Every structure is written in C-alpha cells, then in structure tokens.
C-alpha cells in the first residue's frame, strides 16, 4: 500500500510539473508571430473554428486562448464574433490530449521524454529550446498520469475504497460537484479531465460516473473563467463571458438529455452514445468531454448572434475601449498600399489626439483610486492601438509602393517611434506624480503645476493632430518650448526655496522636471514629423479635420 501511495504522489507531482513546464514553454512560443498568424487566417468562420482547434492542440488550454483573444480584441485585430468562433474550436480541440491519455503509451512516452530532454539540455537557441521544453512538459505530464494509473489500479480492490465509490455512485450530484470544484481549485479543466481518464481507466468508476466527471469539468471551466474575468470590462468581458456561456449551454443540453434517458429508460441519450463508442470508462471520459463541447459549441454557433447581442447589452463597450479601437485601418485596403498608408497616417493623427486624455484625467477632480484606474485603462488602450498601427505599417511595407510612397512610409514609421517614446515618457511622468498631486505641501503644489503645464501642451497637441491646421502646429511648437524653459525655472526655484523639502521629494522633483524636459524635446521632434506628413498630404489635397475624415 505504501508503494502505491508514493507512486501516486510521484505521478501527481510529475503531472503538475509537466503541466507547468508545458504552459511556460507555450507562453514563450505564442508570441507576436503566432498572434499575427491567427489574425491573418480567421476571416472565414470555418477556418476560424479550425484555427481554434489547432490552438488547442498546441496550448491544451481554453484559458490561454481566451486571454489571447481578449488581447487581439482590445487591439482591434480581430472581430468579437470571429474570436468567439475561434474559442468554440478551442473547446473542442482540447479533447485531443484526453484521448492520448486514455491509452497506455508509457514506452513511447519514455522514449520521447529521453530524446526531448537531451535536446532541451543541449539546445542553445530559443528557437529549438522552447519547443523542446514544450515536448518535455507534455511527456512529463503523460508519464505522471501513467504512474498515477498504475498506482490507483490496485486500490479498486480495497474494501474501503470500494464502499466509498458505491456511495458516490448513488449521488451523481456529488461526483458532478466534486469535478466542478476541482477545476476551480486546480485552474484547469483539462487537468481534471485527465485525472478522470486515469481514475476511470483504473476501474475506480464506470461510464456514467465518467460522463459526470467530464460534464462537471466543463461547467467548472466556465465558472473558473467567470472568476478570472471579474476585472475585465466591455468587449474583453464579453469574450470571457462567451467561454462561460459555452459551459452553461453544454450543461443545459446534456444534463436534461441524460436525465430523460435515465427516467424514460430510452437508449437514445448521451450514455447510450458513449457506450456505443467505447466500453472503457477512461476513454468514456474523453468521449464525454468531446460530446459536451461539440453540443455546447454547436448550440452556441447556431445562436451566436443572439448570444453576442446579449453579452453586449450586459457588458457594453466603454468610451475608453472604443477610443482604443482603430477607426481608419481596414485590412481590405492593404491591396492598395498607397491608400492604406493614407489610412495609417489618419489613424496616427487620431492616436496623437488621444494622448491628452492621460493628463486630463489627472487635472480633474475625483478620488485618487478612480483616477489611477482610468489612467491604467487609458495607457493600455493607447498601447493596444499603437501595436495595431505598427502591425498595419508592417503589412504596408510588404506591398509595392512608389519611391515617394516609401519615403512617406519611412516618415510614418519614424513618427510611430517618436509617438511610442512620447507615450512612454508621459506615462512615466503620470505614474510618478499621480500620488503626489493631492498632497498639501510643496511637492503637491509643484506636481499640480507640472501636470497643468503638461496638460496645456497635450491639449494643443491634440488640437493640432485633429485639425491638421498649420497655425495649431506652430502654436504647439511655441508652447512646448515655453514649457521647457518653465520647467527649468520651476526646478531651480523649488530646490533653492524649499530647504525643508525631504530628500525623497527632491528626487521626485528632479525626476519629474527631467521627464518633462525630455517630453517637450520629444514633442518638438514629433511636431517635425507631423509637419512633414501633413505638408505632403496638403500638397495632394488630403488634409482634413479628423471629424470630416471619418472619425465617429
């Protein structure tokens, strides 16, 4: 008995270690190229579903896919309904590993573990090391399940275990509830499903109990996503809620069918179907998992429009989230790179016009916690939109442009780098002073003065970008230069007059004024690039205020 218990502990340990190893490796692998691949190949519904199945084969996690889709939605790279189709495919695709785990493949797994382990230890390039780490993690996970299977098989003959299983078999709600709870505890429906495959394969329970384990794991997956997504808002929350709805819809379909099958004694329900597929309880878990997700995904796809509209009413998009969505960028326009470049430049102007929101939040009245939350959302929105513009410019660079078009593209790319530096520096300044502005002492007064000065410059920047007016740009250059001189005088005045200012506050003041001077220098450079862009556009009659150009 002691041998079986230690083997069980070792199996569980290797299972969770392999899962962690696999997850970390896949996180490193699912970088920018993977996201770009998803964006390019999900325009057709069938292909989007297939991409979801493929993602599941790699990640074996609906959570990873959900948050991947959330990031793409927030960046405006994929439409919400298309992302929902991808997630439906992922829920079906994660069943693959359960079928693998239902077979005893220990010799093959040991061979894969040995080869991949040597390759991982010897690899020096991340291009090889990360995939090998994923293979090692998957092999450890399956080998751990094999140990667990061999450890629990003898326990099926132990009297106390048999008695407990008989009691549990009389209370389906108990098995279902335990499966739901284990998913929330372990943060993985796949892990619970694989444990169910292993225990059922060892003979600890039968087909119907195996089905309840699978159904409970899927509902628990939805509950777990609900708990993880409480902080999300708008479209991101809608995406997470769709994963929850898949679990609810699947449960609403299969549980009544199972009850009708039992009460009416009709061999036409889920249990009869699974029994037809296999007599092995371990593979019964895998088939039940697949059936649940096929029914859930199929039902959700039939009513995708209604589900999407309902989620939009429950968690509508916020103004901040709408600002972060691209207005002018259109993938269809990439067929005409010159025209797409015009759209990218318009989106850059729109982005520049939004930078002022960061400082505007600080200069308004309101609770500090609320201001910090809004600032964080604004910063995230700006970063997401910048990523989208950057990817769009990269796509344009892959097309055929005229010599003049390449020059315009170079100006736009350089402007994007300047804008990135402006947003980063402004973000550092806001983070430094947000907690100081409400203080009644000298550092509070100087923090307020600095942010009001920066806010005036940002308002002028936004007006210049939105209007495209030459006089506005000239005013911006003058205002930014004046503020740079003011920061120098302000620093000297406070550091000499406030002898009692604590050293930490002196350091903050020095840091803040240095950030301001860098910000104004960057703004001067940004204005030069904006001047070049708008002058070229004016020569071709392409300059118009953004509201007239299509901003909604």
What is the enclosing helix (H) or strand (E) of 90? Answer: helix 80-93
Q: In angstroms, rounded to a whole number, what is the distance separating the alpha carbons of residues 388 and 516?
A: 27
- In contact, 67 and 23? CB cutoff 8 Å: no
Beta carbons within 10 angstroms of residue 303's beta carbon = 13
What's the N-to-C CA distance of the chain in angstroms? 70
- Lowest mean pLDDT: which of 88-102, 187-201, 343-357? 187-201
Residue 357 above 90 pLDDT? no
Q: What is the mean pLDDT of the chain?
A: 81
Mean pLDDT on 527-545: 63
Q: In angstroms, rounded to a whole number, what is the distance separating the alpha carbons of residues 135 and 339?
A: 45
DSSP secondary structure code for residue 316 in this structure: P
Q: How confident is the model at residue 548 (pLDDT cuts 50, 70, 90)?
A: very low
226-278 per-position pLDDT tens digit? 888 888 888 888 988 998 898 888 888 888 888 888 888 777 788 888 888 88
What pLDDT is stored for residue 549 in this prediction? 42
What pLDDT is stored for residue 119 in this prediction? 92
Residue 350 above 60 pLDDT? yes
Q: In angstroms, rounded to a whole number, what is the distance separating the alpha carbons of residues 38 and 54?
A: 10
Mean pLDDT on 375-398: 88
Q: State the pTM of this model.
A: 0.71
Q: In angstroms, rounded to a whole number, what is the distance separating the alpha carbons of residues 257 and 65?
A: 29
Nearest residue to 349 (alpha-carbon basis) of 530, 176, 184, 170 = 530
Mean pLDDT on 281-295: 88
Nearest residue to 526 (alpha-carbon basis) of 360, 387, 412 = 412
Residue 546 above 70 pLDDT? no
- In contact, 308 and 80? CB cutoff 8 Å: yes
3-class SS letters over 162-210: HHHHHHHHCCHHHHHHHHHHHHHHHCCHHHHHHHHHHHHHCCCCCHHHH
What pLDDT is stored for residue 396 in this prediction? 92
- Cα 99 from chain centre: 28
Mean pLDDT on 37-53: 85
Q: How confident is the model at residue 479 (pLDDT cuts 50, 70, 90)?
A: low
Residue with more model confidence, 59 or 259: 259
Residue 299 above 50 pLDDT? yes
Q: How confident is the model at residue 322 (pLDDT cuts 50, 70, 90)?
A: confident
Percent of the residues in the chain that have a pLDDT greater than 70, as a whole number:
85
Residue with more model confidence, 56 or 164: 56
- In contact, 141 and 14? CB cutoff 8 Å: yes
- In contact, 223 and 183? CB cutoff 8 Å: yes
Q: In angstroms, rounded to a whole number, what is the distance separating the alpha carbons of residues 390 and 414?
A: 11
Residue 545 above 60 pLDDT? no
What pLDDT is stored for residue 159 in this prediction? 63
- Lowest mean pLDDT: which of 25-29, 308-312, 351-355? 25-29
CA-to-CA dists, residue 255 to 249, 275, 410, angstroms: 10, 16, 60
123-154 per-position pLDDT tens digit? 888 778 888 888 898 888 888 878 877 776 67
Q: How confident is the model at residue 541 (pLDDT cuts 50, 70, 90)?
A: low
What pLDDT is stored for residue 45 in this prediction? 85
Q: In angstroms, rounded to a whole number, what is the distance separating the alpha carbons of residues 19 and 59?
A: 10
Residue 118 above 90 pLDDT? yes
Mean pLDDT on 52-73: 80
Task: Give Cβ neighbours of residue 110 (< 8 Å, ≥ 6 apart).
Answer: 143
What pLDDT is stored for residue 85 in this prediction? 92
């Amino acid at each position: 008995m002691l041998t079986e218990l230690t083997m069980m502990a070792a199996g569980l340990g290797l299972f969770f270690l392999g899962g962690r190893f696999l997850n970390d490796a896949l996180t490193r692998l699912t970088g920018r190229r993977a996201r770009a691949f998803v964006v390019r190949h999900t325009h057709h519904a069938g292909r989007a579903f297939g991409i979801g199945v493929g993602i599941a084969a790699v990640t074996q996690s609906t959570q990873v896919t959900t948050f991947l889709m959330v990031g793409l939605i927030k960046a405006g790279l994929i439409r919400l309904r298309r992302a929902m189709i991808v997630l439906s495919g992922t829920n079906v695709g994660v069943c693959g590993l359960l079928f693998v785990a239902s077979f005893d493949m220990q010799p093959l797994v040991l061979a894969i573990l040995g080869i991949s382990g040597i390759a991982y230890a010897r690899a020096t390039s991340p291009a090889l090391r990360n995939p090998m780490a994923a293979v090692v993690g998957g092999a450890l996970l399956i080998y751990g399940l094999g140990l667990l299977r061999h450890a629990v098989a003898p326990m099926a003959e132990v009297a106390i275990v048999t008695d407990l299983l008989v009691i549990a078999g009389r209370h389906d709600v108990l098995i279902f509830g335990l499966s739901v709870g284990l998913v929330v505890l372990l943060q993985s429906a796949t892990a619970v499903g694989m444990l169910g495959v292993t225990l059922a394969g060892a003979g600890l329970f039968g087909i119907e109990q195996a089905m309840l384990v699978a159904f409970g794991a899927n509902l628990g997956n939805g509950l777990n996503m609900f708990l993880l997504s409480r902080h999300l808002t708008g479209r991101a929350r809608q995406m997470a809620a769709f994963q929850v709805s898949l679990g609810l819809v699947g449960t609403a379909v299969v549980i009544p069918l199972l009850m009708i099958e039992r009460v009416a004694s009709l061999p036409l329900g889920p249990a009869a179907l699974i029994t037809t597929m296999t007599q092995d309880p371990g593979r019964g878990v895998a088939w039940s998992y697949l059936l649940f997700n096929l029914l859930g995904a199929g039902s959700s796809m039939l009513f995708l429009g209604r589900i999407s509209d309902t989620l939009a009413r429950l968690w509508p998009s916020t103004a901040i989230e709408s600002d972060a969505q691209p207005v002018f960028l259109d993938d269809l326009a990439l067929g005409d790179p010159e025209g797409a470049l015009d759209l990218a430049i318009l989106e850059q102007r729109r982005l520049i016009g939004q930078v002022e929101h960061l400082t505007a939040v600080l200069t308004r009245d309101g609770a500090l916690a609320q201001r910090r939350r809004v600032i964080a959302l604004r910063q995230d929105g700006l970063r997401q939109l910048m990523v989208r513009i950057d990817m769009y410019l990269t796509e344009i660079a892959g097309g055929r442009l005229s010599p003049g078009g390449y020059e315009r593209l170079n100006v736009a790319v350089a402007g994007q780098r300047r804008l990135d530096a402006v947003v980063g520096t402004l973000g550092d300044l806001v983070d430094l002073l947000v907690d100081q502005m409400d203080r009644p002492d000298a550092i509070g007064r100087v923090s307020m003065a600095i942010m009001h000065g920066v806010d005036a410059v940002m308002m002028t920047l936004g007006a210049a970008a939105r209007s495209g007016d030459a006089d506005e740009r000239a005013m911006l250059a003058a205002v930014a230069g004046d503020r740079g001189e003011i920061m120098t005088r302000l620093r000297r005045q406070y550091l000499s007059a406030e002898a009692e200012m604590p050293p930490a506050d002196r350091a903050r003041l020095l840091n803040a004024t240095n950030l301001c001077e860098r910000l104004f220098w960057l703004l001067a450079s940004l204005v030069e690039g904006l001047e070049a862009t708008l002058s070229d556009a004016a020569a071709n009659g392409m300059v118009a205020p953004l509201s007239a150009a299509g901003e909604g």
